[in-house]
Chain A
């Protein structure tokens, strides 16, 4: 159940990407934070690692998003990973 503070960077000022912001707003696990220039702070609080990955991918693939970086992540009890698919 990861909680992450992310920084979304748009190709231009945040205000110019209304449809992308709407798409982000429509993801219930996301809280919008501060925006400044082309950067927008968000927090993702998801139930599963799969959902966390889906959200990450969805935000990264939005039109106008040129970078998605991490400021903080807490994964706490969710650290037990599955074995790899090796061999």
Chain B
């Protein structure tokens, strides 16, 4: 960096930081003002993009010079982060430049990875699909951009008539989806991040936003630093950095959240302290069917609800959850106060749960019964861990049972609508749901002769070789199965590419166009800014290129009703642009074409999106986005609330217009507490919980390539309570073996570290591919969401040798 440039950037850095401290409330600027104050000069250009990491959806300004990303700045025009970034956002530009980027397609021949051409790679994949389309599965991600996920969805369900497509988001937020569906009849939070600015009480349910969503948490701590009173109540199974900021910490046993929510519901009813008017006007009561429970459930009377909830007294809840009865009363008293605003936050702690749908529904129920819903600051809100878990997985519907826009494959009218939008033949979409994630990998790793009917799998933008539970059964068993073929598209070598038969080098983040949808229903857009290295290419292009190869091979599904290629893109003169040839892919904006096609689906469940060009101008818009009389497009902050939601009938205060009971009401559920699927016993006496750390994003594929982050948190570890360690004669830093009934994992011990688990509990982060804790975890899953429970299984700690732990 030359001295002039360095001085210029230093001045700009001071200006950027200074503008963030000026005034107690940070202004939200107009989009076109965002680059003001950032240095420009010969060759240096700034453009906007959402951050590549978590589901918060912070916007950054990306500085590019000579074809390289050289700087990032928090985007002052972004309502989400108002110019600030967390430590991972700070390094988001560096993730492009790890030295071991994948740059050429690699095919495993005689056990060795060999460079091949893209033509050979695409032909190899197309041939395998052509030969056996029904045994092909596509495994994707909440990191798929919206157009990438939409292309994969159309390719599979519209083109191949194959519903075996599922995303890694099944592993992190599927129970949130089913919780919303069971309660409101439609997915995704009603509130938005403004709730964090306006609540009086923030309850974190098994959630650690101080580390996992730090910019969001800073909105709350910033309020305190301005002298505002906001009470934080942390309900969790271990102390975390969020606990450090909390006024109250309620330590629960694993699965205790179910009992706690039942206890609050019990007390609200028992004390006659619920919001009768809200419940009478806007809610029904619901319970599980006796025989085969469904997401719909069956109606129960308020009297029946009272009867069922009666046994969940504070004392009984204390027994089940470990949280003292007086703390349960404290929570119920808070929810009983209607003049305060309460926001609940949760993420994987509540979702990765064999009662995931139940606990999600119960927490919604606590807010509904108490009337803490629909006013700014009164909200039950789930967060997502991936940048487009909402936009791509939930909205585009890249799940084995779903179609775009909240449609499902089992309903004939939904299939018909989708076939219409895709202009494919009637009956193209199969009515049989495909395999969900756990089932998909079970079928892939089971020998074909034994019924393993998935033989080819294409994994894009995710790393199941590290994230799946019980890896020895669901992933590692692939080794040695000669007829199974694993295709992996990624940016770096991973635990998944280690077993891949074909590896495709992918473009990432600002090396391609993209759109993400964040946790508050905000759809965000960016343009390609730099070229990917070597021969790395866009994931969306890969899907289209494979589809076109199948089209050339005569696959009927790749032709629409008129005989044209299902991904055909035409120029203004009506000539088809060969976007399947990579050097022609950017002759047009493929994202825009796909998005405008997808947008037709979004009105079906009132998740209306604006035209692509509106997202180019904005730092995201929260759906539903509706056109105004003057031609402008208005976003929605608070769904179902008459003061803000355009789809609530005029004059109504609230309306749940997708109610599963078809009467405009939300459902307050009763679910009976059930014990965890596996409990500690004499042989395996400890609870094992897994999770994340501030410095690394999920499997660490990107963040472990950033030396600052890697040095700050170089290795995974096991958190232990001091007394458990002393009882086993284990010292700080010693290597121990964690053993479960499924596998083992060696780790250094960290006592009284960042997280402090109670006695009988251990915690291990999953970011480190050299220490695969998912060899030990359990694949038991929620019956509705099919989401596995990574947060609790039985394990033991066996002393090994001495090593160092992070300091």
Binding site for B on A (CB under 8 A): 1, 3-7, 9-12, 31, 33-43, 45, 49-50, 52-53, 56-57, 66-77, 79-87
Contact = CB atoms under 8 A, between A and B. Distances in A.
B9 A67 contact: no
B601 to A, nearest CB: 37
Contacts, number: 188
A72 B666 CA distance: 44
A83 B74 contact: no
B425 interface: no
Contacts of B574: none
Contacts of B493: 86
B109 interface: no
Nearest to B39: A74
B13 A74 contact: yes
Interface stretch (B435-443, B708-716, B726-734): B708-716
Contacts of B222: 9, 38, 67
Contacts of A33: 14, 17-18, 21
Contact of A71 (B5, B10, B19, B214): B19
B89 A70 contact: yes
Contacts of A1: 1, 6
Contacts of A82: 99, 705, 707, 710
A43 B98 contact: no
Contacts of B85: 69-71
B70 A11 contact: no
B769 A71 contact: no
B573 interface: no
Nearest to B700: A84
A81 B98 CA distance: 5
A83 B1 contact: no
A74 B15 CA distance: 13
B770 interface: yes
Nearest to B498: A87
Contact of B74 (A35, A57, A69, A77): A69
Chain B residues touching A, majority SS: helix
A80 B225 contact: no
B704 A12 contact: no
Given A5-B13, A43-B14, 20 more contacts: A3-B9, A4-B13, A11-B225, A33-B21, A35-B21, A37-B21, A37-B226, A41-B21, A43-B17, A49-B707, A56-B708, A67-B214, A69-B85, A72-B13, A72-B73, A73-B13, A81-B705, A83-B98, A84-B492, A86-B704
Contacts of B10: 3, 31, 43, 45
Interface of B: 1, 5-6, 9-10, 12-24, 38, 63, 65, 68-74, 83-87, 89-91, 93-94, 96-100, 214-215, 218, 221-222, 224-226, 245, 492-493, 498, 700, 704-708, 710-712, 714-715, 769-770
Most buried by B among A6, A33, A56, A76: A76
Nearest to B84: A69
Nearest to B22: A36
Contact of A74 (B20, B70, B83): B70
A71 B1 contact: no
B74 A70 contact: yes
Contact of A7 (B21, B245, B498): B21
B12 A72 contact: yes
Contacts of B94: 75, 79, 81
Given A3-B6, A43-B10, A71 B706 contact: no
A73 to B, nearest CB: 5
A44 to B, nearest CB: 8
Contact of B97 (A4, A69, A81): A81
B49 to A, nearest CB: 15
Nearest to A14: B21
A1 B2 CA distance: 11
Contact of B704 (A42, A75, A77, A84): A84
A1 B3 CA distance: 12
Contacts of A77: 1
Contacts of A81: 94, 97-99, 705-707
Contact of B71 (A11, A37, A72): A72
A38 B736 CA distance: 43
Give the interface centre of B83, B225, B711 by most chain A CB atoms within 10 Å: B225
Given A5-B12, A86-B704, A12 B93 contact: no
Contacts of A5: 12-18, 73
Contacts of A9: 218, 221-222, 225
A72 B17 contact: yes
B97 A80 contact: yes
A50 B100 CA distance: 21
